[in-house]
């Protein structure tokens, strides 16, 4: 009988074979990548090539930093709320434009906000806090109070202050809320299905906000 002896290769020989195979595969893949990139560059339009070369970002980290800088620039343009609004109102000089003759006798600026989709009871909870307060105090209170009714009241406050400055020639830093009310208006009736096929009524209340400001 012929006995077949398996060939035993040393670890040094196996390492050399593996290294040669790795170099061969790497060279082939590098050649394929170079050919593919060349073909892509040839097929790319001239405008796209110019745009890509003009960007000139060397790494993904630089692109991420540029995107973060752009987002910070966009967010910084919408931060004129709260204390910044108060500082802007205080630093505004007194209005020097000519006041119309029809508004010469007016002593208060009015803003009417109609059809607010909110219950008047929830709005009055906020109005009771700002009644009699100055313009700066109202801005701070409405900015940090945890109620959804603060948003429409804040819009009405901005509108009344603008009316006082542009139409009556008043100074925003001297304004205060002289009168503010919330009156209930129409109620939208809807129905929601409940157990045993019964309709459950839903009443969506609305209100009108009236805000008046005077100068101290």
Confidence of residue 121 (pLDDT cuts 50, 70, 90): very high
pLDDT at 115: 92
Residue 113 main-chain phi, psi, to 5 deg:
-115, 110
pLDDT at 39 over 80: no
Cα-based distances in Å from 175 to 85, 149, 193: 14, 22, 50
Residue range 21-37: mean pLDDT, rounded: 51
pLDDT at 97 over 50: no
d(CA 122, CA 78) in angstroms, rounded, equals 28
- pTM exceeds 0.75, yes or no: no
Q: Quote the percentage of the chain above a pLDDT of 70.
A: 52
d(CA 96, CA 76) in angstroms, rounded, equals 31
> Is the Cα dihedral 122, 124, 129, 134 positive or negative?
positive
pLDDT at 66 over 60: yes
d(CA 114, CA 208) in angstroms, rounded, equals 5
pLDDT at 113: 93
CB 141 within 8 A of CB 147: no
Residue range 120-149: mean pLDDT, rounded: 93
pLDDT at 46: 46
pLDDT at 49 over 50: no
């Amino acid at each position: 009988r012929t006995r077949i002896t398996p060939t035993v290769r040393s670890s040094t020989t196996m390492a050399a074979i593996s290294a040669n195979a790795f170099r061969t595969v790497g060279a082939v893949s590098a050649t394929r990548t170079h050919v593919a990139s060349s073909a892509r560059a040839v097929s790319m339009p001239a405008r796209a090539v110019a745009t890509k070369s003009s960007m000139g970002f060397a790494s993904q980290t630089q692109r991420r930093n540029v995107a973060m800088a752009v987002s910070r620039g966009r967010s910084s343009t919408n931060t004129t709320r709260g204390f910044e609004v108060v500082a802007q109102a205080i630093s505004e000089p007194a209005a020097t434009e000519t006041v119309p003759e029809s508004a010469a006798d007016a002593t208060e600026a009015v803003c009417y906000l109609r059809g607010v989709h909110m219950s008047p009871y929830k709005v009055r909870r906020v109005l009771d806090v700002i009644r009699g307060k100055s313009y700066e105090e109202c801005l701070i209170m409405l900015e940090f109070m945890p109620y959804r009714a603060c948003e429409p009241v804040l819009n009405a406050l901005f509108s009344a202050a603008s009316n006082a400055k542009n139409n009556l020639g008043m100074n925003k830093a001297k304004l205060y809320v002289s009168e503010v009310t919330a009156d209930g208006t129409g109620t939208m009736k809807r129905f929601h299905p409940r157990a045993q096929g019964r309709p459950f009524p839903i009443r969506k209340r609305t209100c009108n906000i009236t805000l008046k400001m005077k100068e101290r």
